[in-house]
Amino acid sequence: MSRERPAFAEISPSEFFYRNRELAGFTNPSRALYSAIRELVENSLDAAESARIKPVVEVSLQPEGDGLDPRPYVLAVRDNGPGVDPVHLPNAFGKVFFGSKFTLKQARGMFGMGGTMAILYGQITTNRPVTIESSVDGVTLHGYRMLIDIEHNRPLILERWSREAGGWHGTYVRLTLEGDYTRAQQKVLEYFRQSAMATPYAYLSFTDPLGRRVEHLPAVDTMPPPPRETLPHPHGLDVEALRRIIRAAKQRTLHELLYKNLHRVGPKIAMKFLLHSGFDPNRDPSTLTNEEITALARALHEYDGFLPPDASCLSPLGEELLVAGVRKELRCEFVTAVSRPPAAYSGYPFIVEVAVAYGGELQNGVRLYRLANRIPLLYDESSDVAWKVITEEINWRRYRLGDNPPISIITHICSTRIPYKTVGKEYVADQPDIERELRNAVREALRRLSHYLSKKSSLEMAQRRSNIYQRYLPLIARFSMELAGRGRPPDYRKLVAGQGVEMRR
Amino acid sequence: MSRERPAFAEISPSEFFYRNRELAGFTNPSRALYSAIRELVENSLDAAESARIKPVVEVSLQPEGDGLDPRPYVLAVRDNGPGVDPVHLPNAFGKVFFGSKFTLKQARGMFGMGGTMAILYGQITTNRPVTIESSVDGVTLHGYRMLIDIEHNRPLILERWSREAGGWHGTYVRLTLEGDYTRAQQKVLEYFRQSAMATPYAYLSFTDPLGRRVEHLPAVDTMPPPPRETLPHPHGLDVEALRRIIRAAKQRTLHELLYKNLHRVGPKIAMKFLLHSGFDPNRDPSTLTNEEITALARALHEYDGFLPPDASCLSPLGEELLVAGVRKELRCEFVTAVSRPPAAYSGYPFIVEVAVAYGGELQNGVRLYRLANRIPLLYDESSDVAWKVITEEINWRRYRLGDNPPISIITHICSTRIPYKTVGKEYVADQPDIERELRNAVREALRRLSHYLSKKSSLEMAQRRSNIYQRYLPLIARFSMELAGRGRPPDYRKLVAGQGVEMRR
């Protein structure tokens, strides 16, 4: 028998994402422009915050030549972060699956490939090298001009240099990519506005292709505490992860292994768990068979005596910063924010924060702003868990907000692991625990708004009543005075004051 | 200055998808079970069809132990395909980004990683090795028991064997994974049903955890012509692809380079294009600078004198097979299928086929079945372009189908490149050209249904009329006969026949 059999080949990670770039949000010249800006800005914000520096990120986008869209654009992003060590710099931007995001820690980036994808997209559409400069000490700056060798997934350095940094530390990336700003403009500007809302302590500027600069100044002086890296929680542990812990461990007993390597597992709980599930606490972990490791992982999953993951490793915005950010960017009449207590899904801690804004410069209708680990999510709204909550799970009538009220709802989910459904980070899956927290937070915020509005409306009623008294009481007083033949009217001002409303002068 | 700087690390492709398995559809034990079945079945169908063998695919799913879901299941898939060469077998199932799907050719698989993901998921949830057996010649069978070394992205062979194949060629995969069949059942059964609809020439069987076997027998004896690999079309070519063509090319002139390496570009068109865009046809391609390659790619993109990609490389089902598949699985009263002429988006050819089924065993209401390269898509319906078309772009009233008619719409898109938005292949992006073809096909199919229904209803009217004639004419004839005093009634049968309806006997 002789049949045509398929030809097999191996491709590199760069090659995979080169072929399937729409998976990472690089679908067309408009979307790709948006994605490139966003990936670089998020890298900059993550870097600055991880070093506790208040971020200053400057972005500029200049067209090349004067053709029509889509056309080549030069995108440059400069930050004041801690910079990248020159040893890592070429790989960090020229190698897919090389990065600093592969830890259990809250960060905007999660897949560790956004920056490289932006550079890769620029290269395949314009064939231009990228320029990267970075300084870690403010003294020396290192620069590279490079391409990505897609077939081998490695940077191809064309030129390198170093010079005085003049006190600047941070990273600067300049690349050329084919883009369509005419179509992308609205999303890009919205992205900056919402990013500013989510990072009210940052300075963000964007110089558009016509040279106009949009600046978002910091509204507050404090930063939320930075997220910390954390150990894995037993409920989030799979067999592979457990096997790695065992292999890397120096501990001689199972008991010690558990309480030294797992989140929220101390010596006492570890002992209780081991006795409950029938493992010998003194067993040498390195002697466990494959079957025993599997049984141990399963037992860790199912044991309900562990404390839930704690959220001290997370960095929510906090009600105060969220209110400041929303008020600054939306210029509303009223805003309230609700931070839910920490919760967890499959061993990953998360915190949900929700703000509700009302009136002021808001337009009529309910608008949703979605944030996840301080990233604005602007695409595929109707697939997001927050959309599901506000359209399906809120009984809007009970809050008596009137017809078509001018409301914005801002949701923020932060977690060591946001359950995105695409590498492009467009929307969050409807994980039931996250859904529940969102629902509770939105309801609480709407209750507060409802309370504010009913107070405001009773104030207005009182005001109207007072206006009527104010108009007629003087007349009645005068008539009464005349009827009674007395020379002085009764003191009606007290009556009005009794309504709890001050008289107008 | 000394600041905390991020730690950099490289991870392997296996590691990336291990950490982000929900990107490939392995979200939870229910979804993962569905995804694993589907990925293995699709590999089997692709393999058999590529060798022009009518597929026979047998799937069985057996629980391990008698616990509650989620629990370990043993999943086994056996096909009659051409088999995998023993040299490639371990990599094909134990290495992410190693596969046979990296060509410009219509196939169910696109990302070349589904089978490996299923094995990887099984391993991290149950720590069990996978068993793979394959025979390419019907004489010898090669078998492997192996794990995936996730950190290094390579197969870890535990055992290998070979024995007599006894005439069987094909591939057999058996793996253990944590699953939740209780929740997955409905989708799994639906997946088989719709797969059978899309491959009416295949034999599919599924033995469920209770030992019940669901069989889908072939309804037709013919297979559509197999898809062929094709050259890239100039409109789908990016700079990177062009650069590779130039590097690999043996041609000495730009003219020859173009007409030998591009789809639908012959010597004449190549010459016209080169003269139009100002390139020297006799130029040696290897002397082109980076800037010139970029300019050439751009010119190729923008030139509108190329023929559109032709679809002879595609393998649509055809109206006949589609009708047979739908009739077999949906048991409807009426079905019609529309195959649109080939079209293209960004240089990729595609064909849209739509069937509309009505009545019979269908329930009231409009139901959508989505197929892409013969794969049923069962998740995220509301994000799909076909959903958008039938909910937003069809004026249902004009087809006079009555209230809540029992209708199913089956859409099939085939292309060398389906614009999926996730690695899990859940839904197709709303690419405008695809959207337009879908709209036209659905409208045409609905027009035909509408025509059928109006013919049916006038037939019914005629039938009713004829029934009345049939009842009263004999009486009238008899009365007339008696009134006229004649011995024989007039021949009223002709009158009834004049209504175009046969008399009942």
**CATH number for the domain that contains residue B22:** 3.30.565.10
Does B472 lie in the same domain as B438?
no
What is the number of structural domains in chain A?
A: 4
Does A104 lie in the same domain as A197?
yes
Tokens 């059964």 label which residue? B189
Q: What is the CATH number of the domain that holds B248?
A: 1.10.8.50
Does A169 lie in the same domain as A88?
yes
Report the amino acid identity of residue B6: P
Does A343 lie in the same domain as A363?
yes
Bridge partners for A356 per DSSP: A336, A409
Query: Is the pLDDT score of A196 beyond 50?
Result: yes
Q: What is the pLDDT of residues A236-293, one digit of tens each?
A: 888 888 988 898 888 899 999 999 999 999 999 999 999 999 999 999 999 999 889 9
Interchain CB distance below 8 Å, B138 and A1: yes
Mean pLDDT of A126-145: 95
- Minimum CA–CA partner of A244 in chain B: B151
Smallest CA–CA distance, residue B23 to chain A, in Å, is 6
Does A325 lie in the same domain as A210?
no
Closest CA to B272 of B314, B227, B234, B322: B234
The string of DSSP codes covering A332-354 is: -SEEEEEEPPPEEETTEEEEEEE
The answer to whether residue A75 sits within a structural domain is yes
Does B175 lie in the same domain as B254?
no
Tokens 């076909």 label which residue? B386
Interchain CB distance below 8 Å, B422 and A3: no
Confidence of residue A505 (pLDDT cuts 50, 70, 90): very low
The answer to whether residue A503 sits within a structural domain is no
Tokens for B84?
């995998």
Residue finishing a domain among A166, A190, A216: A216
Contact B344, B413 (CB under 8 A): no
pLDDT at B111: 64
The answer to whether residue A221 sits within a structural domain is no
Contact B141, B151 (CB under 8 A): no
Interchain CB distance below 8 Å, B239 and A123: yes
Does A102 lie in the same domain as A210?
yes
Lowest mean pLDDT among A99-113, A198-212, B408-422, B430-444: A99-113
Tokens 């009739």 label which residue? B327
Burial class (CB in 10 A: 0-12, 13-18, 19+), A292: middle
Interchain CB distance below 8 Å, A18 and B240: yes
Domain holding A471, by residue range, is 460-497
The answer to whether residue A240 sits within a structural domain is yes
User: Which residue of A100, A102, A126 is in closest CB contact with B239?
Assistant: A126
Interchain CB distance below 8 Å, B88 and A124: no
Smallest CA–CA distance, residue B22 to chain A, in Å, is 7
User: Which residue of B8, B27, B238 is in closest CB contact with A124?
Assistant: B238
The CA distances from residue B390 to A21, B343, B403, B425, in Å, are 28, 20, 16, 20
How far is residue A446 CA from its own chain's centroid? 22
The dihedrals phi and psi of A178, each to the nearest 5 degrees, come to -80, 130
Query: Is the pLDDT score of A455 beyond 70?
Result: yes
User: Which residue of B3, B9, B294 is in closest CB contact with A102?
Assistant: B9
User: Which residue of B12, B92, B423 is in closest CB contact with A8?
Assistant: B92
Helix (H, G, I), strand (E, B) or coil at B236: helix
Instruction: Tell me which chain A residues have a C-beta less than 8 angstroms from the C-beta of B111.
Output: 16, 20
Closest CA to B353 of B416, B406, B410, B276: B410
Other CB atoms within a 10 A radius of the CB of residue B268 amount to: 9
The answer to whether residue A105 sits within a structural domain is yes
Q: What is the CATH number of the domain that holds B419?
A: 3.30.230.10
The answer to whether residue A5 sits within a structural domain is no
Does B436 lie in the same domain as B474?
no
Instruction: Tell me which chain A residues have a C-beta less than 8 angstroms from the C-beta of B9.
Output: 98-100, 102
Confidence of residue A27 (pLDDT cuts 50, 70, 90): confident
Helix (H, G, I), strand (E, B) or coil at B492: coil
- Minimum CA–CA partner of A289 in chain B: B127
Tokens for B162?
């070979």
Lowest mean pLDDT among A307-316, A385-394, A481-490, B161-170: A481-490
Helix axes B29-50 and B114-126, enclosed angle (nearest 10): 140
Q: CB within 8 A of A220, min separation 6: which ones?
A: A200, A201, A320, A321, A324
Query: Is the pLDDT score of A501 beyond 50?
Result: no
User: Which residue of A3, A19, A239 is in closest CB contact with B125?
Assistant: A239
Residue finishing a domain among A161, A189, A216: A216
Strands B203-207 and A348-358: unpaired
Does B287 lie in the same domain as B325?
no
Interchain CB distance below 8 Å, A92 and B422: no
Average pLDDT over chain A, rounded to an integer: 88
For A165-263, list the strands marked E by DSSP.
Answer: 170-179, 203-207, 213-216
pLDDT at A1: 40
Query: Is the pLDDT score of A133 beyond 70?
Result: yes
Query: Is the pLDDT score of A192 beyond 90?
Result: yes
| ipTM, interface predicted TM-score of the complex | 0.76
- What is the rounded radius of gyration, in angstroms, for the C-alpha atoms of chain A? 29
Tokens for B305?
């004198």
The answer to whether residue A402 sits within a structural domain is yes
Query: Is the pLDDT score of A502 beyond 50?
Result: no
Does A335 lie in the same domain as A242?
no
The dihedrals phi and psi of A229, each to the nearest 5 degrees, come to -75, 150
pTM of the model: 0.80
Does B471 lie in the same domain as B441?
no
Tokens 């395949």 label which residue? A124
Residue finishing a domain among A281, A302, A323: A302
Element (H, E) at A158: strand A154-164
Residues of chain B with pLDDT under 70: 1-6, 101-104, 110-112, 492-505
DSSP classification of residue B107: -
Does B407 lie in the same domain as B264?
no
The answer to whether residue B41 sits within a structural domain is yes
